[in-house]
Structure 1
Amino acid sequence: MVTGSIELDEILRIILLASLFIASVLLLGPHIIRALIRLLRHMEVVEAKLFIPFVFVMTLAWLANLVGLATIVGAFAAGLLMLDSHFQAWGDYRKHKYSIKELFAPLEAILVPIFFVLMGIQVKLESFLDPQVLLLSAGLTLVAVLGKLVAGLGVMGADRRRLAVGIGMMPRGEVGLVFASIGISLNVIDKAMFSAVLMMVMVTTLATPPLLKWALGDSTEGKGPDRSVGKQCQ
């Protein structure tokens, strides 16, 4: 495992670099997308909605890696700009047969399971019986849960609504696994740390649905779903 000290100037540099990157993408991205649409106007709308977003995402992921950021930062920035409304050149986007999300759904169905398979390959099951891993996982899970519950206190409304929003934000999901995978590939974290992170992701993800149902139980009984909580989360 690689050891060292925390360098505040390096952390600030990365934060500044990521902020500048996302700001630049948000500023220039729409112009680039419109230029690509004009260039590829002869394509069918389905082909354009597949090709242009794919090229845009791959390019931004490569650029993010080029400037020293994680590729997920570039992909996330591209996702912020990939809107069906950009494709008005093919008529009213609301009348298109397929949306970008619908077209990429089959690709997601293929790649997401492969991603989780790759994550599982890197985990040794015997590490889950290691007391050090279990203790570290418990600490990470506690911090992950408390951090989101405290964040939920900022929600306006009743205490139960604050609790529901905090619980709803608990799952770490794929993003946590992506950064853990990057860390282990760079030898920044070892197998034990990776296993602890994976366990934390599993616990927070699996525990959220029943806890959220409990938190919303009294307020939704006999009234249908509570839309206000969803609005607060957005």
Structure 2
Amino acid sequence: MADFLTFMTSLSPNLYLPGQGTIAPLLAAAETAEAAKPEESIIVAGVLLSLVVIYLASKIGGEICTRINLPPVLGDLVGGVIVGVSVFKLLIFPESGVDGSESVIISVLQKTTGLEPAAAIATFEAQSEVITIFAELGVIILLFEIGLESELKELIKYGPQAAVVAVVGVVAPFTAGTVGLITLFHVATIPAIFAGAALTATSIGITAKVLAEIGQLSSKEGQIIIGAAVLDDILGIIVLAVVASLVKTGEVEVTNILVLIVSAGAFLVGVILLGRFLSPYYVSFVKELKTRGPLLISALVIAFILSYIGAAIHLEAILGAFAAGLVLGETEKQQELEEQVVPVADVFVPVFFVVVGAKTNLGVLNPAVPSNREGLIIAAFLIVVAIIGKVVAGYSVFGQTEVKRLGIGIGMIPRGEVGLVFAGVGAASGALSDALQAAIIMMVILTTFVAPPLLRLVFREPVTTPEVVGSTKD
């Protein structure tokens, strides 16, 4: 467009367009718009710099935590906080309330690639979107890997216990948080319900990664935690849908809730049953393929398709990936597939955890800001409820002897990215005050960081089930 207007101007600088005036202002506007468009090569350069920052933060943080006997995943999170919006601003995102002018990477791009200031914001947003997608891929691959390592038979075996833990882990903190905010802090009903809903979440990604690192994923406790966390995700989605509906309309749409419940149950049960029926054909098909990487590529195709279906029916994509891992983990190719997935996970999974840390704004902890003081008091209450509510859920396990109930409860504590979703939706809907939003974010931060070292502390002794993560399945 700008080239055409320039050509027309060269023919007649004072060319007049009916209803538009002379062509010169149009040319200036077109040139401004053209300059504001980000170049693909510069976006790629920004993504590459972001990945360099992410991998360095992950490796340095992981190495430090490993050497002081802490889970490496905690190093990913801490490394993300340090390079993120709270400290160095090397890796920041628009949803953190900052723009491209505060991004160190954008500044580097402007100095080294000739990035125009007019295009900086668009480049920043595009680069952030790509990294966010990488992070989403990371958690999908993580849950696929966890599904491969999990025993479907054990999950079914401990299904009733996991269901009880999940229900108690949702009901206890939700009820205590909502009632406490209304009675003790005189918070309005809808914001209190929203904050109570944020307490129900469980970050399966963080807990599963820690359990895998310390070799407890296949234990009784690990299987109960994973099963409960999966159910927690489903219940959390339903709770979020109910609360979001309440905020928007003032009434709960029962039809939508029923659709979510039926979709979740049908999806999980259907995938497992259909997968068991089709898995022999899958193995035969893979054996017939002659090209490079048939097992890994075909498995990822299945994982991505199920993740898409999970997202399309308004469930979490990670549930589809986890279900795919469970099904393929029951085939004779489990060990070989797990070995091939590990390098892929090493590339994408750190992006997820570092991004979670980078998006965490520790500025809400500053008591010098007046609006944070009320939030600090409410946060202390929410943190106590968040921890006790999940620990109580761990002690609700029945029918099992010699099981570490405290470990199960601690495994359900981290809210992670799931809690941040609740906080984000609440902020976008206008249901949360600044103080309440700050309190929820603080609760998410503390529960996310406190769970990994506590899990390692609780499981420092050998567990009752001597299974090893990554062992060949029968």
From 356, 370, 378, give the equivalent of 1:119: 356
For 1:127-174, what per-residue CA distance to the aligned partner results, in whole angstroms no more than 9, with x for missing partners?
33233554454344323311222122234558x94334433x24426x
Matched with 1:154 is 396
Note the C-alpha offset of 1:37: 3.5
For 1:54-103, what per-residue CA distance to the aligned partner results, in whole angstroms no more than 9, with x for missing partners?
0011001111222222212212221221216243xxxxx7xxxx632222
- Specify the SS of the correspondent of 2:289: coil
Specify whether residues 213 and 36 from structure 1 end up closer, same or farther in structure 2 by C-alpha distance, changes over 3 A only: closer
Amino acid at match of 2:274: L
For 1:11-67, what per-residue CA distance to the aligned partner results, in whole angstroms no more than 9, with x for missing partners?
343122101111111111233444444334333698233112200110011112222
Q: Would you say the 8 A contact 1:170–1:204 is kept in 2? A: no
Amino acid at match of 1:80: L
- Counterparts in 2 of 1:53-202, with a 5 A limit? 53-83=299-329, 85-87=331-333, 99-129=336-366, 130-155=372-397, 156-157=400-401, 161-167=404-410, 169-172=411-414, 176-178=416-418, 180-181=420-421, 184=424, 187=428, 199-202=442-445
Larger radius of gyration: 2
Query: Structure 1: how far apart are the matches of 2:289 and 2:466?
Result: 38
Matched with 1:31 is 277
User: Could you state the TM-score of these two structures normalised by the residue count of structure 2?
Assistant: 0.37
**TM-align CA RMSD:** 3.9
Q: Would you say the 8 A contact 1:62–1:71 is kept in 2? A: yes
Q: Would you say the 8 A contact 2:307–2:317 is kept in 1? A: yes
Matched with 1:21 is 267
Q: Would you say the 8 A contact 2:395–2:405 is kept in 1? A: yes
Matched with 1:227 is 463
Query: Structure 1: how far apart are the matches of 2:405 and 2:278?
Result: 40
Unaligned 5+ segments in structure 1 are 88-92
Note the C-alpha offset of 1:205: 4.3
Query: Structure 1: how far apart are the matches of 2:438 and 2:408?
Result: 28
- Specify the SS of the correspondent of 2:350: helix
Note the C-alpha offset of 1:195: 6.3
Matched with 1:7 is 252
Query: Structure 2: how far apart are the matches of 1:65 and 1:35?
Result: 26
Note the C-alpha offset of 1:8: 6.1
Specify whether residues 201 and 52 from structure 1 end up closer, same or farther in structure 2 by C-alpha distance, changes over 3 A only: farther
Specify whether residues 37 and 144 from structure 1 end up closer, same or farther in structure 2 by C-alpha distance, changes over 3 A only: same
Amino acid at match of 1:61: S
- Counterparts in 2 of 1:37-52, with a 5 A limit? 37-43=283-289, 47-52=293-298
- Specify the SS of the correspondent of 2:464: helix
From 163, 181, 204, give the equivalent of 2:447: 204
